[in-house]
Amino acid sequence: MTKYSMGKKKTSAFRINVGTEDEMPLESFRWSIKRAIAGWVAVILCAGIPLFLYSWRRSILLRFTHAHCHPDVAHKVLLKDKYDREYVEEVHRGDRPLKDGTNYIYFCNKRTKYVWKTDLQRFVALDGLQVESSSDFHDMSMGLSCMDVDYQKELYGQNTLFIQMQPIYKLVLHEVFFPFTPSTLKKRPWLHWYLSFFRLMFLSSFFFFS
């Protein structure tokens, strides 16, 4: 696998879920103060119009504020599935290393945790507890040691599910301003230009009457 290093442009994207239907290319980014300043200057000079583009495709804001880097030093990753849907996920780092001594670097996507494997040089989906269970696991009367319990909690997290509910007004506004998916706009370029013109006219009228 061809990789790219810090300070150089991307030469080849890393991938996750290799060989499956959910295989996706992965681009890694690190916060760049220079890009962030330049991006917000562009927003100010354009009277806030780029903010509409940022809210439409999060990858635009990501590229304006972050620079490409190697995945093991990344702050965020960009994923794109076969339907051209983009996912921007934050990369986390655990306080304790993995059992092999490497740093605990991971991100979550679609309720699945992906852990960075140094030996494989890629992110790998975290398997369930049953994968590494031995045949005599259920016969152990003492259970796991305190150290193993702490390690499993750090690796798998709490056994809870958080559901984030968006307010109704946000859903309505999103449907009004962004009624079409990127794949739909890609198939109908005229629709993309029409929506861009509509947003521009809306912003112009807003600033004019204010």
Q: What is the pLDDT of residues 76-120, one digit of tens each?
A: 999 999 888 999 999 999 877 777 777 889 999 998 999 999 888
Cβ neighbors of 137 (< 8 A, separation 6 or more) are: none
Whether residues 33 and 124 share a domain: the answer is yes
Residue 153 lies inside a defined structural domain of this protein: no
Whether residues 170 and 96 share a domain: the answer is no
In total, how many domains does the chain have?
2
Residue 155 lies inside a defined structural domain of this protein: no
Whether residues 62 and 126 share a domain: the answer is yes
Residue 207 lies inside a defined structural domain of this protein: yes
Distance CA 106, CA 89 (A): 10
Q: Which domain holds residue 127?
A: 14-132
Residue 150 lies inside a defined structural domain of this protein: no
CB 114 within 8 A of CB 125: yes
Q: What is the pLDDT of residues 144-193, one digit of tens each?
A: 677 777 777 777 777 777 787 888 877 777 666 665 555 555 555 555 56
Whether residues 61 and 107 share a domain: the answer is yes
Whether residues 44 and 88 share a domain: the answer is yes
CB 46 within 8 A of CB 76: no
Task: Answer with the one of 89, 114, 132 that is the final residue of a domain.
Answer: 132
Residue 199 lies inside a defined structural domain of this protein: yes
Residue 75 lies inside a defined structural domain of this protein: yes
Residue 158 lies inside a defined structural domain of this protein: no
3-state secondary structure of 182: helix
Q: Which helix (H) or strand (E) holds 193?
A: helix 189-209
Q: What is the pLDDT of residues 51-82, one digit of tens each?
A: 777 777 888 889 989 999 999 999 999 999 98
Whether residues 25 and 116 share a domain: the answer is yes
Residue 43 lies inside a defined structural domain of this protein: yes
pTM here is: 0.63
Residue keyed to tokens 């934050």: 90
pLDDT in the model for residue 189? 56
Task: Answer with the one of 89, 112, 132 that is the final residue of a domain.
Answer: 132
